[in-house]
Structure 1
């Protein structure tokens, strides 16, 4: 007579029996041999292949070429950074641009257009999700100050008029909305 635990163990051992594996015969031909490797058309060296592509890291804002000796002073950058835009719900991007215009309109440099100075300084006025938004834009997509202002206006309009598309799930719409806000994390969580 067996006890209940002995019966369970015997039943468990019968279920966990290892599968029988047939030995591999080296003399039999392989039915589906791997296709031969194609020659590589890429003639770059290993050092060249390991270099990071630089075109991916181009800035969104294109600064027009300045033909005079000019550099941004730390005081100017600090002045702009004193009132940074973070992209929080309660912040108004248009108010930020108006304030930024007031600060940069007081700066005059001979032979340098004020729009070039604005484009150079604008990145320093952003932080948090606002900076993430700008970095998500296509490289070299902002060529003028008007481009930058219109992108800001378009983004605000997209957010305020946001609607779920007919053919998208709630989760897809939520991801798209968070993309607009710049809130989506680099790694995505698993959806239920």
Structure 2
């Protein structure tokens, strides 16, 4: 590990307590002195305390089984999907897996919209799956496009 990485981890370790509140802060305060000496110690103990294996499995399953709801817009589905990912920060899914899961969860109209907007084919084909950045850019562009449509002020005619 480089000395820069080591310094970054040391800073994270020092600042981490300031990011906590509630049960997490109480947990850290109850840890025996000098029981957490490295960033890796902290990450391991924190995950074991707040994300036991059964909870992690349930959260990973929720992510894997994600589906866009019938009356849910593309943007709402994207937000909900990202909430699931944030709820399990150690899910271990690659960006490609995340994007592929999201794309495949969309209703056919939104899948068609992604394809038409960006001229691609199904994300499960090897050509698209091999290019994570392209799919990620397409999803982001579509989200920005949808966001701009919803947030554009109404103009008075006249």
TM-score by length of 2: 0.37
Higher helix share: 2
Q: Larger C-alpha radius of gyration, 1 or 2?
A: 1
